[in-house]
Structure 1
Amino acid sequence: MLEIESLNKTFAAPSGPVVALRDIRLTVGRGEFVTFIGPSGCGKSTLLKIVAGLDTVYEGSVKLNGERIGGPGIDKGVIFQEPRLFPWLTVEKNVAANLSLRNPEVRKRVGELLELVRLQGFEKAYPRELSGGMAQRVAIARALLRNPDILLLDEPFGALDAFTRSHMQEVLLDIWQRSKTTMLFVTHDLDEAVFLGQRVVVMNPRPGHIRSVLDIDLPYPRSRTGASFQELRALVLGEFEKVEKGPAVDVGAGI
């Protein structure tokens, strides 16, 4: 469904070119949930922007459903750390975005999505009246409006408190299981990566590249306190610790 081959991304800087991503190779199947973890500066967000079509200047091949990604489109939904809602619009109008709620099909779809994200009864509320978790659920509903093939989430729960974050992880898994949408999820939280993903991609920095891809062979729902979860968490932590202790790589190499 998503095929990334020999992806390289270089940024121009006053001190010379900086390699952000080097030789990224990854295939993601339809309906799969993949999480990405790694230290700051390892290129996780840059990779997501390329898949989203927000950055089209790179070397290599990035294809969605066999077609090269050439820019943003309704086949790709994006969720950022901040909900980025329009403060002057109600919840239902934020979800509808540029589509009219006077259209019966749009109104029906918005209603279905608000039920999916557990926000029935808040259709007429404004963003200022919502908690952080509720606002992020509105953003997720908006991203799903046009039935995207893939949903890209860049640390969407990073600004939430621990209780709300845990709740939102449960909500997201429910949305994923019911919508069958492919999800790529970037996080700095190791527990979150293991709790959500069917696979965890561990990335190295300087330049950003994939160190390892670990299968999380646990059924849903998952218990963070279970022995199997803790074993897999330790496995991912071991890979992550190798990333932190690994030698720095010359960012100018390979250009």
Structure 2
Amino acid sequence: MTPAAELAIEGLSKSFDQEGTALHVLSDISFHTKPGEFMSIIGPSGCGKSTLLKIVAGLDLQHQGKVLLSGKPVDRPSQDKGFIFQEHRLFPWLTVEKNIAADLPLKDPVVRARVDEMIRLVRLTGFEKAYPKQLSGGMSQRVAIARTLLRNPQVLLLDEPFGALDAFTRNHMQEALLDIWRENRTTMLLVTHDIDEAVFLSNRIVVMDAKPGRIKTILPIDLPYPRNRIGTSFQELRTQVLKALEKEASPAADTWDI
């Protein structure tokens, strides 16, 4: 496995030109992750969370400030930065194992062994020959995660990957993602609107405000794993995150799941 990476964001700002007027999306964003850390970003709609993730992925290079992965500037997309979208984006004509391998030859013994390892890791043993139409939404998303992890990314970027799932499946996928993280120890950066999801998964939570997007606070989540969603300590941290979101918020612009 590729060693987990430290992600460093320093003085990051981003603007778009809107009919000759600068639209400021992100303002002076700075934070570091520790190698192998699980960090979530939460904030109201329009605070630039997804834009920030695209910049970290190297998909948007038109910005000010620095983005460093293991001390090296992020200046292009690459396999050391895995990206999981809300939609799984599987190839419908390929089986689970072939979707995971994608452009890699399954006949290669090394690739075959790695694909089998990923299938076990995401709990899809027995579904190797299934097609996406035969899978649930949660299973399809696990295939997408396995495909990304097969490339040994230093950091896994997740843009609301469970937002389209029902509550029961979302909870199950959060637990599955934690199992993958604990075993793989890939540095993870998750964008979410879901406060419970952020508290359940994260070592730390970056709370953002909008117009322009900026960091309000970074909250440590000092709870042991596995976490009890109905426990007193969990609920206290959930309330702390909600209060941080509500402080100086604009009700007309802000939406999040509580």
Judge conservation of contact 1:153–1:184 (CA < 8 Å) in 2. yes
- Matched with 1:204 is 209
How far apart are the structure 1 equivalents of 2:61 and 2:127?
38
- Corresponding residue SS for 2:249: helix
How far apart are the structure 2 equivalents of 1:181 and 1:243?
34
How far apart are the structure 2 equivalents of 1:162 and 1:151?
23
Report whether the alignment pairs 1:181 with 2:182.
Answer: no
1:22-33 → structure 2 map (5 Å cutoff)? 22-33=27-38
1:244 CA displacement: 2.3
Alpha-carbon deviations, 1:206-225, whole Å to 9, x = none? 00011100000000000011
TM-score, reference length from structure 2: 0.94
Judge conservation of contact 1:203–1:243 (CA < 8 Å) in 2. no
1:245 CA displacement: 4.2
1:146 CA displacement: 1.3
Q: Give the letter for the 2:130 counterpart.
A: A
In the alignment, which of 27, 31, 39 is matched to residue 34 of structure 1? 39
- Matched with 1:48 is 53
Q: Could you list the runs of 4 or more consecutive aligned residues of structure 1 that deviate by over 2 angstroms after TM superposition?
A: 243-248
1:137-148 → structure 2 map (5 Å cutoff)? 137-148=142-153
Q: Give the letter for the 2:193 counterpart.
A: H
In the alignment, which of 65, 68, 77 is matched to residue 73 of structure 2? 68
- Corresponding residue SS for 1:17: strand
- Matched with 1:251 is none
Decide whether aligned partners of structure 1 residues 184 and 105 sit closer, same or farther in structure 2, where only a CA change above 3 A counts.
same
In the alignment, which of 74, 77, 95 is matched to residue 100 of structure 2? 95
Q: Give the letter for the 1:29 counterpart.
A: K
How far apart are the structure 2 equivalents of 1:67 and 1:228?
38
How far apart are the structure 2 equivalents of 1:199 and 1:242?
19
Structure 2: which 5+ runs fail to align?
A: 1-5, 254-258
1:223-234 → structure 2 map (5 Å cutoff)? 223-234=228-239
Alpha-carbon deviations, 1:13-65, whole Å to 9, x = none? 12511111100000011000001110111000000000111111111110000
Structure 1: which 5+ runs fail to align?
A: 249-255
